[in-house]
Amino acid sequence: MSSKGKLQTGAIDEELKQAGVIVGDGGAKDLSAYSESDRQILVRDGSRIRIRVFRPTESPGSGSPLIVLIHGGSFCVGSLESETPRCRSFVQAFGAVCVSVGYRLAPEHPFPTAPNDCWDALRWVAANATALGATPSRGFIVGGTSAGANLATVLAHLARDERLSPPLTGQYLCVPSVLPPTVVPQKWKAQYLSYEQHKNAPILPRTALEMFANSYKPNDVCDVDPLRDEALIYETVLRTEWEVKTKLDVYPGLPHGFWFMFPTHSRAEKFRKDLIKGTEFLLGL
């Protein structure tokens, strides 16, 4: 993405804020109930990335759970601002400390920059949990949307393998990209239909997926969503093969990221309510 492209992305974010979408998309509206602050943190190659910390003005007596969110945008566009509605909602609903991560984007920064940036950010958050005012024993969740959900999945595996301390207690995956068509195991191919079935889907058609994948350059290349079946397969594997407790919400007939593109749609309100119920499930409430 050129410098001009980055400026255009910022302009789009600002238009969304002015239109009330950032707050209206399920965000907490009582601005006195929380604080927001940006920080620059060091990552492994000596660069710095931006994170935004959302904290309640008054922490719950039992402590604040810790939630790290990663934005979507097919690894090539987007910004941490897009997770503001979720972060504000989690602060309001659970008194959580929420951190939105701004990782570097392709094509200037192809794979593995994004997962490396996000892993370094997650480790920084874990190491500074107390200073941030969080109580990870109340819950330590990593999550994301679309490409951000892909990165959250990677982080969950790294956290397990590298024995992250404090440990993660749950992951939130929203319309995740987790199973490229080139690596679908044989036993799941009969259920992997949406990549072809919804190749011309609105918002995120297959041609866009392939264009972004070519820019990201990885090692392996809602219901009306090309990513639908990989999400359903991943949930099934977690639940049946690894005995992970899961909660699944499906939105029939709706495209990828519908709640963001059409925030006044009646099902967008259901999505926002399901988001809170799903997070309650992850926190054991």
pLDDT tens per residue, range 38-87: 999 999 999 999 999 999 998 888 999 999 999 988 888 889 998 998 99
pLDDT tens per residue, range 212-268: 455 554 443 243 344 567 777 878 888 888 888 888 888 777 766 666 666 777 778
Is the pLDDT at 173 greater than 50? The verdict is yes
Higher-confidence residue of 67 and 199: namely 67
pLDDT tens per residue, range 101-119: 999 998 899 888 999 999 9
Higher-confidence residue of 140 and 258: namely 140
Higher-confidence residue of 147 and 99: namely 99
- Tell me the pTM: 0.72
Do residues 216 and 151 make contact, with C-beta atoms less than 8 angstroms apart? no
Higher-confidence residue of 235 and 196: namely 235
Q: Which of 79, 89, 146, 177 is catalytic?
A: 146
When the pLDDT of each residue in the chain is averaged and rounded to a whole number, the result is: 78
pLDDT for res 23: 42
Annotation marks residue 256 as catalytic: yes
List of domains in the chain: 3-283 (3.40.50.1820)
In this prediction, residues 134-150 reach a mean pLDDT of 94
Q: Which of 71, 109, 198, 256 is catalytic?
A: 256
pLDDT for res 269: 81
In whole angstroms, give the CA distance from residue 144 to residue 77. 14
Annotation marks residue 225 as catalytic: yes
Which band of pLDDT confidence, cut at 50, 70 and 90, is reported for residue 205? Answer: low
Report which of 41, 209, 182 is spatially closest to residue 125, judged by C-alpha positions.
41
